[in-house]
């Protein structure tokens, strides 16, 4: 990905040389031209076209913010409920992602999502131990995490 | 235009303060460390974020000054709060802080028992 960005910047600089115009506008135009050129040549790169990856990152960020709002709503509901009606517990979540930074991102996102909090990780990085507010819908929570976050993170790292 | 902006800023800051207050209430009401961690890690993050966003917007609207430091602050709060709460809960589990008696399930127990045997 970084190689493609570097290439795009170099194309933009070349564009500035061709135009003999040295300002931000010329650079932006050159960058757009570079994106088009790289899109046409995308099958010569070993990795994906980098704009796709950028879109995946933005999607992950938006998902994260939406989940943060939902999490706050669910916690507040518990706080202002007159009688305490929680059923906490710790459950294990088998991981599919492998790289360290992916696990770090997943753990952070789980901590900031409704009703879950990461407590520990197993020594071989294969199981995440999560403290949940309502343990009765654990399987639902596992499915949720698997389908939304893990998929989105894998989409970025693919 | 500026009046509408000020209204939005006011709403953001009041919402952030309310969230912070409710976080504190949650800290007082919840029974054990782990459930308190839920309240502290979620509501506090969003509360502080809303207040900081309101501050940044206010100075942008009234004085035309975009404060990079406030934006950086938002990013840092967002990155560091979950890590801090994770470390606190993990340390308390390591030191044998018991879960609340209403807790129904504990998968982590096995791991620590195995570690003790070895």
**Residue B8's pLDDT is what?**
92
B40-67 confidence digits (pLDDT tens): 888 888 889 999 999 999 998 888 888 8
Closest to A56 (Cα-Cα) out of A110, A105, A99, A116: A105
A22-50 confidence digits (pLDDT tens): 888 999 999 999 999 999 988 888 888 88
**Residue B102's pLDDT is what?**
60
Beta carbons of B81 and B44 less than 8 angstroms apart: yes
Site from A60, A74, A75 to mutate, B interface, most B CB atoms within 10 angstroms = A75
C-alpha B31/C-alpha A129 separation (Å) is 20
Length of chain B (residues) = 118
A63-96 confidence digits (pLDDT tens): 888 888 888 888 888 888 877 777 777 878 888 8
What is the ipTM score, two decimals? 0.75
Edge-to-edge order in the sheet of strand A89-94: A89-94, A127-132, A116-121
The residue of chain A with its CA nearest to that of B87 is A119
**CB spacing of A90 vs B79 below 8 angstroms:** no
Q: Is A71 on the interface with B (CB under 8 A)?
A: yes
The residue of chain B with its CA nearest to that of A112 is B42
Closest to A1 (Cα-Cα) out of A62, A45, A33: A45
Which residues in chain A touch residue B22, judged by CB atoms under 8 angstroms apart? 76, 79-80
Among residues of chain A, what percentage have pLDDT more than 70?
Answer: 96
């Amino acid at each position: 990905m970084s190689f493609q960005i570097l290439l795009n910047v170099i194309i933009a600089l070349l564009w500035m040389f061709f135009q003999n115009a040295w300002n931000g506008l010329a650079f932006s135009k050159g960058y757009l031209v570079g994106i088009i050129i790289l899109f046409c040549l995308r099958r010569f790169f070993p990795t994906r076209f980098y704009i796709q990856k950028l879109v995946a990152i933005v999607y992950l960020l938006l998902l994260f913010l939406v989940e943060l709002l939902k999490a706050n709503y669910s916690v507040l509901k518990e706080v202002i409920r007159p009688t305490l009606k929680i059923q906490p517990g710790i459950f294990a979540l088998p991981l599919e992602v492998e790289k360290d930074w992916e696990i770090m991102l997943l753990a952070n996102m789980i901590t900031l999502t409704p009703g879950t909090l990461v407590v520990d990780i197993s020594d071989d990085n294969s199981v995440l131990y999560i403290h949940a507010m309502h343990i009765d819908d654990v399987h639902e929570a596992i499915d949720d995490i698997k389908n939304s976050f893990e998929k989105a993170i894998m989409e970025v790292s693919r | 235009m500026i009046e509408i902006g000020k209204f939005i800023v006011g709403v953001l800051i009041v919402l952030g303060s309310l969230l912070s207050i409710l976080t504190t209430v949650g800290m007082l009401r919840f029974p054990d460390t782990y459930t308190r961690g839920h309240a502290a890690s979620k509501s506090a993050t969003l509360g502080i974020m809303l207040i900081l966003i309101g501050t940044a917007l206010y100075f942008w609207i009234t004085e035309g000054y975009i404060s990079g430091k406030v934006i950086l602050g938002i990013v840092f709060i967002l990155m560091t709060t979950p890590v801090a709460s994770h470390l606190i809960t993990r340390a308390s589990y390591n030191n044998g802080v018991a879960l609340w008696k209403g807790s129904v399930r504990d998968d982590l127990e096995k791991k620590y028992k195995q570690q003790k045997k070895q």
